[in-house]
Amino acid sequence: MRRLGLHQRQHAKPAGGGGGGVKGMIGRLLIAVVVVLICTISFIVTSTSNGGARSGSRSKMSLDELWRSADSVGWRPSSAPRSDWPPPPSETNGYLRVRCNGGLNQQRTAICNAVLAARIMNATLVLPELDANSFWHDDSGFRGIYDVEHFMKSLRYDVKIVEKIPEIRKNGKTKKIKAVQLRPPRDAPISWYTTDALVKMKEHGAIYLTPFSHRLAEEIDNPEYQRLRCRVNYHALRFKTNIMKLSQSIVDKLRAQGHFMSIHLRFEMDMLAFAGCFDIFNSKEQEILKKYRKENFAPKKLVYKERRAIGKCPLTPEEVGLILRAMGFNNSTRIYLAAGDLFGGERFMKPFRALFPHLENHSSVDPSDELAENTQGLSGSAVDYMT
Ligand SMILES: *[C@@H]1O[C@H](CO)[C@@H](O)[C@H](O)[C@H]1NC(C)=O
Ligand SMILES: *[C@@H]1O[C@H](CO)[C@@H](O)[C@H](O)[C@H]1NC(C)=O
Ligand SMILES: *[C@@H]1O[C@H](CO)[C@@H](O)[C@H](O)[C@H]1NC(C)=O
Ligand SMILES: *[C@@H]1O[C@H](CO)[C@@H](O)[C@H](O)[C@H]1NC(C)=O
């Protein structure tokens, strides 16, 4: 289930026009959640209908099948270049700086795009800047969660990467190159990078793209470019050892007791405010959501009363629970809940817990100090991401 979720998230199309940023991320997640549910449900439906020889009755559906990995139906990993792929030219066209934004997953996608953009432009990539402040109040950045040496080393035949723009010496004086700030169009085509952006880069020596999320088209008619994005996502981007160790130990502990399911409910303030889902909340909660919406998202007229009916709202924890129970998972199923503050708190958690009393989170799995230190901010999200 988790695996399916991860995979779908990486490939889910961005949603929510314009704006990008937080908004884009939430749209993306909303779609991802829906896609995951649809995929899971259709997977169940297919596996029951394929099992026609068996009784066909829903209640006879084998849970063992649900726990197994889904068939890849012929899909296989595709990361290594398959045609002539020269190393980056020794002569650089300049430095590319980007500031990623959005949630952990959206920023990861942005890093993949930044590497590709640098490759396209024959530019030197400056280690991407992460935006952690909006959610995690954490500024540990790229170095705080990713293995930088591994990142640079695994992409050495693809792009040149530096930690920061070096100073240049000219006429005996050291000078800083100032990156000129540009705002790429949403889902910009490759041609934007080889024209507008390249001209500025050559003129100033460095450009700074911000905000940088959904700033390069997802569909590019060049398999090698797509493979490069896969190399970044699946090979070059590796969380730091402490994060990997910790998530592995959480997974080991959970597995030691049998199957478990990992869920990110996403019933969180930013998501609900963005989606305009206010109807099920009391007036005080509605006020909080409306205020958050006003402060964080571009104004847009929404008919709040309709949002749920037209499927724009995240499922409530209870709805998620009911779907899982209908799929055949009974009340002894263990569920690991990924971080994220449930909006509305216990009132919404209670019905979920009634359906699935065996809930875990990182503090319940391992209430040690090591965990407490590593589950703050970005690294906490990274640990849950891996779990
Ligand atoms: C980048 O370098 C390659 C190989 O040297 C060259 O074919 C390509 O035209 C260059 N592209 C840009 C945008 O400079
Ligand atoms: C829940 O399902 C599992 C696996 O099918 C089964 O072993 C277990 O007995 C069930 N528990 C309850 C309380 O129904
Ligand atoms: C789980 O459901 C069974 C009935 O299917 C019930 O007897 C049992 O008390 C429930 N367990 C918990 C922990 O709620
Ligand atoms: C984790 O679960 C425990 C016990 O169920 C709960 O008290 C705690 O608030 C949860 N922690 C988080 C971060 O959700």
Per residue in 318-362, pLDDT (tens digit) is 999 999 999 999 999 999 998 777 899 899 999 999 999 999 988
Q: Is the pLDDT of residue 387 over 90?
A: no
Cβ-based neighbours of 190, under 8 Å, separated by 6 or more: 120, 216, 217, 220, 222, 225
Direct distance between the N- and C-terminal alpha carbons of the chain, in angstroms, rounded to an integer: 12
Mutate to test the pocket of ligand 2, among 259, 332, 355, 358 (most ligand atoms within 8 A of CB): 332
Q: Is the pLDDT of residue 106 over 60?
A: yes
Residue 175 sits in which domain range?
95-238
Q: Each residue of 53-96: pLDDT tens digit?
A: 344 445 556 777 888 888 889 988 889 999 999 999 999 999 99
Tell me the percentage of the chain whose pLDDT exceeds 90: 56
Query: Considering only CA atoms, which residue is closest to atom 3 of ligand 3?
Result: 331
Q: Give the number of whichever ligand sits closest to the CA of residue 197.
A: 1
- Closest ligand 4 atom to Cα of 337: 14
Output the pTM of the full model: 0.77
331 lines ligand 3 (CB under 6 A): yes
pLDDT-derived band of residue 373, with 50, 70 and 90 as boundaries?
low
222 in a structural domain? yes
Query: Cβ of 286: how many Cβ atoms within 10 Å?
Result: 14
Q: Is the pLDDT of residue 45 over 50?
A: no
What's the confidence (pLDDT) of residue 207?
98
328 in a structural domain? no
What's the confidence (pLDDT) of residue 364?
86
- Closest ligand 1 atom to Cα of 122: 1
369 in a structural domain? no
Please state whether beta strands 335-337 and 359-360 pair in parallel, antiparallel, or not at all (unpaired): parallel
The values of phi and psi at residue 136, to 5°, are -105, -10
354 lines ligand 3 (CB under 6 A): no
Q: What is the mean pLDDT of the chain?
A: 83
More confident residue, 353 or 46: 353
Looking at this protein, which amino acid is placed at residue 88? P
Q: Is the pLDDT of residue 121 over 90?
A: yes
279 in a structural domain? no
CA distance 317 to 12: 22
Per mean pLDDT, which range of 139-153, 185-199, 359-373 is the poorest?
359-373
380 in a structural domain? no
Q: Give the number of whichever ligand sits closest to the CA of residue 122.
A: 1
28 in a structural domain? no
Q: Each residue of 273-316: pLDDT tens digit?
A: 989 999 999 999 999 999 999 988 888 888 888 999 999 999 99
Rg (CA), the chain: 23
Our count of domains for the chain comes to 1
62 lines ligand 2 (CB under 6 A): no
Omega cis (within 30) before 87: no
- Closest ligand 3 atom to Cα of 354: 14
CA distance 243 to 265: 22
Q: Ligand 4 mean position to 359 CA, how many Å?
A: 9
The values of phi and psi at residue 66, to 5°, are -65, -35
| Tokens 């875990």 belong to residue | 360
Q: Ligand 3 mean position to 351 CA, how many Å?
A: 14
298 lines ligand 2 (CB under 6 A): no
Q: Each residue of 173-228: pLDDT tens digit?
A: 888 899 999 999 999 999 999 999 999 999 999 999 998 999 999 999 999 999 99
Tokens in use for 56? Answer: 């066909």
Query: Considering only CA atoms, which residue is closest to atom 14 of ligand 2?
Result: 330
Mutate to test the pocket of ligand 1, among 84, 96, 122 (most ligand atoms within 8 A of CB): 122
Q: Which residues of 59-94 are buried (b: 16+ CB within 10 A; e: fewer)?
A: eebeeeebeeebeeeeeeeeeeeeeeeeebeeebbb
178 in a structural domain? yes
| Tokens 């959480």 belong to residue | 250
What's the confidence (pLDDT) of residue 17?
30
358 lines ligand 3 (CB under 6 A): no
Looking at this protein, which amino acid is placed at residue 87? P
Q: Ligand 3 mean position to 355 CA, how many Å?
A: 9
363 lines ligand 4 (CB under 6 A): yes
10 lines ligand 4 (CB under 6 A): no
- Closest ligand 2 atom to Cα of 63: 5
Four-CA torsion 339, 344, 346, 349, nearest 10 degrees: -60
Query: Considering only CA atoms, which residue is closest to atom 1 of ligand 1?
Result: 122
180 in a structural domain? yes
8 A C-beta contact, residue 247 and residue 98: no
Q: Give the number of whichever ligand sits closest to the CA of residue 356.
A: 3
CA distance 110 to 343: 28
Q: Ligand 4 mean position to 286 CA, how many Å?
A: 25
Q: Give the number of whichever ligand sits closest to the CA of residue 159.
A: 1
